[in-house]
Amino acid sequence: MNPALLTKYKEEVVTALKKHFDYKNIHEVPFVEKLVINCGVGKAESDRKQAVQDALDAIALITGQRGVATAAKTSISNFKLRAGELVGAKVTLRGARMYEFLLRLIGTAIPSIRDFRGVSAKAFDGRGNYTLGITDYTIFPEVELDKVQRALGFDVCIVTSANSDDEARELLHLLGMPFRGREKKAA
């Protein structure tokens, strides 16, 4: 069974993108390749291993997939950090899980942020990839507030096959990403 967002992509988004950018071939239409969710534990020198474990548990809870711990590549003496020490967690989502997580992120989690007015449309990297920072993972409905041990934030990097930021922005907009100020331009 296809996720609802994948069905929407195939039935609505592909035809809208072909019409908007005058693609001749269906294989030119950009798509979401993967989502990378990354969580750093920050200044947890005393209990870094427990902080990384909490980050792994939080990522597994909200994504439905077990993550991997990430290690520091270089030593930084000012941060009391040595190369090889665990500093965070990450997970890469593809396929059905990616579309299910993206639907929950766009449809449920992001709109539940207090005083939410849309996400920035400027967070593209020039190659069609979009990065979104989430400061508190408790916006997801799966998280039980009673069991939260520490406040964790994470980055969601949406990797697309788009050749430009404009193509990726239109792709994400058609998928339902609530960009700030988008409605004002259309009016």
The mean pLDDT value for 17-31 works out to: 92
CA–CA separation, 103 and 75 (whole Å)? 38
Task: Please state, for a pLDDT cut of 90, what percent of the chain lies above it.
Answer: 40
Average pLDDT, the chain: 86
Domain boundaries, the chain: 4-43+91-178
pLDDT digits (tens, 9 = 90+) for 32-70: 999 999 988 876 566 778 888 888 888 898 898 999 998
What pLDDT is attached to residue 45? 60
What pLDDT is attached to residue 118? 84
Task: Return the residue matching tokens 């005393």.
Answer: 46
Name which of 10-24, 73-87, 152-166, 168-182 the model is least confident about.
Answer: 73-87
Whether the pLDDT of residue 1 is over 80: the answer is no
Phi/psi at 31 (5° precision) = -145, 165
| Burial annotation 159-169 (CB, 10 A radius, 16+ → b, else e) | bbbbeebebbb
Whether the pLDDT of residue 186 is over 60: the answer is no
Phi/psi at 115 (5° precision) = 55, 40
pLDDT digits (tens, 9 = 90+) for 113-123: 888 888 888 88
Supply the pTM of this predicted model. 0.86
4-43+91-178: in CATH 3.30.1440.10: yes
